[in-house]
């Protein structure tokens, strides 16, 4: 793993959502110095989608080929 255990913090939260079902989510935080070692900067914009999503058949083919 490219990070030391002291450079990564994560938490798990769970609760009942508005639909009445239980939901859980993770919060993962990585120290800025660890990102810089990988050539990333904390001030960089987050990744965004730059084009249309692949067609539905593409996802189905990828799932069937994954096994």
Q: Mind listing the pLDDT tens digit for each residue in 18-49?
A: 999 999 999 999 888 888 888 887 777 776 77
pLDDT band with cut points at 50, 70 and 90 for residue 67: low
For the segment 45-57, what is each residue's pLDDT rounded down to a tens digit? 776 777 888 888 8
CB–CB of 2/33 below 8 Å? no
Rounded average pLDDT over 57-63: 85
Tell me the whole-structure pTM to 2 decimals: 0.50
Q: What is the pLDDT of residue 13?
A: 92
In the chain, where the domains are located = 1-42
C-alpha to C-alpha distance for 62 and 67, rounded to whole angstroms: 9
The b/e string for 29-47 (b: 16+ C-beta within 10 A; e otherwise) is ebeeeebeeeeeeeeeeee
What separation in angstroms does the CA of 55 have from each of 25, 34, 40, 45, 59?
Answer: 28, 37, 31, 27, 7
């Amino acid at each position: 793993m490219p990070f030391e255990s002291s450079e990564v913090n994560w938490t798990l939260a769970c609760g009942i959502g508005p639909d009445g079902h239980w939901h859980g989510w993770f919060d993962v935080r990585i120290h800025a110095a660890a990102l810089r070692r990988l050539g990333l900067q904390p001030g960089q914009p987050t990744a965004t989608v730059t084009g249309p999503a692949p067609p539905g058949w593409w996802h189905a083919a990828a799932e069937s080929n994954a096994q």
